Amino acid sequence: MTPLSRRNGHLHFEEVALTALAERHGTPLYVYSAGAIEARYRAFAAAFRSHPHRVCYAVKANSNLAVLQLLAQLGAGFDIVSGGELERVLLAGGDPAGIVFSGVGKTVAEMERALEVGVACFNVESKAELLRLEAVAKRLGVVAPVSLRVNPDVDAATHPYISTGLKENKFGVSISDAAALYRYAADAQALAVTGVDCHIGSQLTTLEPFVDALDRVLALVEALNRDGIELAHIDLGGGLGVRYQDETPPGIDAYATAILERLGHRREALMFEPGRWLVGEAGVFLTRVEYVKENEGRHFLVVDGAMNDLLRPALYGSFHGIEPVFDRPGTPAVEVDVVGPVCESSDFLGKNRMLAAAAGDLLAVTTAGAYGFGMASNYNSRNRAAEVLVRGEQDFLVRRRETTADQLAFEQLLPPLPVSD
């Protein structure tokens, strides 16, 4: 489902005009489509309906409570990487028994809380973490369900900042060391081996890295079986790409066919951790042009959205489509850089774009549902944007705009101090 459409020259998201949302809620503004998220989740689940599976949404992609609530109501599990994400999922109605806890730096307090609520599994990323989890579980008198995240040393051919499956990355246990750790875990009274986990990176646009990683994981599973260690599930992570510009990522049915063919007759349940694929194309970022500027032949649209709102272009050099929310018939498009007010040269949303826009116009930055608001900050003491979710003709404010008072509420001035000489 594509929630974005143009009607009589005006962009709509589902059935709601984006101009109306900007008038009601101001800009900059994140807008999410409930229908698009639901359609993506149902498509993923349907593609694997012939095999036992669980779709665990990667909360880091977009952790808004309403988004989590929507996915929980659809029956999704959740992939978390912090105690804060755990509490968000619980508040949104997520079932603890459907939560997998990933991440390389789990603290004792995070482990204790996850054991208390009864998460499905810890995706353990190092020997040190395994030993810490065992000690925590033993002290609490419980058994911790564990899965080792193995690093198969597969090149995902993606941006180096979002590649996670190479031996130089910080994630996971070397696949060559995994068998020994599994044997240790299988013998530990406070640990219960439940599965194996593998995630090689994000925004993958070909199937080969997925298949290569699965082949290596299956070789490990077979070796464990020969040692008498049986696994209940195989977690293949996430990473399936979306279209930002001219990418042609494989469809979900092609992805499922490739995975299921490689799996053969094995009956371990499959687990997946999609994030971007579920929510990326279900979001837009609205921003308003404040100034049109020309500097020695170079044209700029200075907008009220900035790198603190949408960091991906500055951090990764990522491309997002940018469209005028309403057409200007007869106005010629010119090549412009769309830049924000933050005092950094890296503060841009797009460069070298052909746009016809004037001060006061609205722009829609597309495919902004993943890693947008979640990476936002208060840099330059800017307030974070509001978030809205639309369903059909309805819109719901799911996070109000931050205020300066919100920012300052966590700080305090010093008491009067003597003036030093």
The 10s digit of each residue's pLDDT in 242-280 is 999 988 999 999 999 999 999 999 999 999 999 999 999
Instruction: Tell me the pLDDT tens digit for each residue of 186-236.
Output: 999 999 999 999 998 888 999 998 999 999 999 999 999 999 999 999 999
Percent of the chain with pLDDT over 70: 96
- 3-class state of residue 308 by DSSP: coil
56, 121, 198, 343: which one is catalytic? 343
Q: Read off the pLDDT band of 151 (50, 70, 90).
A: confident
> Residue 166 pLDDT more than 60?
no
> Residue 74 pLDDT more than 60?
yes
Percent of the chain with pLDDT over 90: 87
CATH-assigned architecture of domain 34-277: Alpha-Beta Barrel (3.20)
Instruction: Tell me the pLDDT tens digit for each residue of 318-377.
Output: 999 999 999 988 889 999 999 999 999 999 999 999 999 999 999 999 999 999 999 999
pLDDT score for 159 = 41
Name the token pair of 134: 């065992």
pLDDT score for 161 = 42
Has 343 been annotated as catalytic? Answer: yes
pLDDT score for 329 = 87
Helix, strand, coil shares of the chain as percentages rounded to 5?
35, 25, 40
Q: For the chain, where do the domains classified as CATH 2.40.37.10 start and end?
A: 4-31+280-408
Q: What is the DSSP letter of 401?
A: P
> Residue 305 pLDDT more than 80?
yes
pLDDT score for 169 = 61
pLDDT score for 170 = 63
Q: Are 122 and 234 in contact (CB under 8 A)?
A: no
The CATH homologous superfamily for domain 4-31+280-408 is Lyase, Ornithine Decarboxylase; Chain A, domain 1 (2.40.37.10)
Q: Read off the pLDDT band of 172 (50, 70, 90).
A: confident
Spell out the alpha helix ranges (H) of 33-96.
34-47, 65-74, 83-91
**Pairing outcome for strands 394-399 and 386-391:** antiparallel
* Mean pLDDT of all residues in 75-90: 98
* Mean pLDDT of all residues in 147-169: 62
pLDDT score for 2 = 83
Q: For the chain, where do the domains classified as CATH 3.20.20.10 start and end?
A: 34-277
The CA angle 252-257-261, to the nearest 5 degrees, is 155
pLDDT score for 154 = 75
pLDDT score for 162 = 41
Residue 150: burial class (beta carbons within 10 Å; 0-12, 13-18, 19+): buried
Neighbours of 381 (CB within 10 A): 9
Torsion of CA 236, 237, 242, 246, to 10 degrees: -70
Spell out the alpha helix ranges (H) of 75-174.
83-91, 108-117, 127-140
Q: Which of 305, 327, 333, 309 is CA-nearest to residue 384?
A: 309
Region of 157 on the Ramachandran plot (φ > 0 left; ψ -120 to 50 alpha; else beta) = left
pLDDT score for 163 = 43
pLDDT score for 164 = 45
Q: Which of 310, 308, 315, 314 is CA-nearest to residue 383?
A: 308
* Mean pLDDT of all residues in 44-68: 97
Rounded (10°) angle between helices 108-117 and 127-140: 50
pLDDT score for 201 = 83
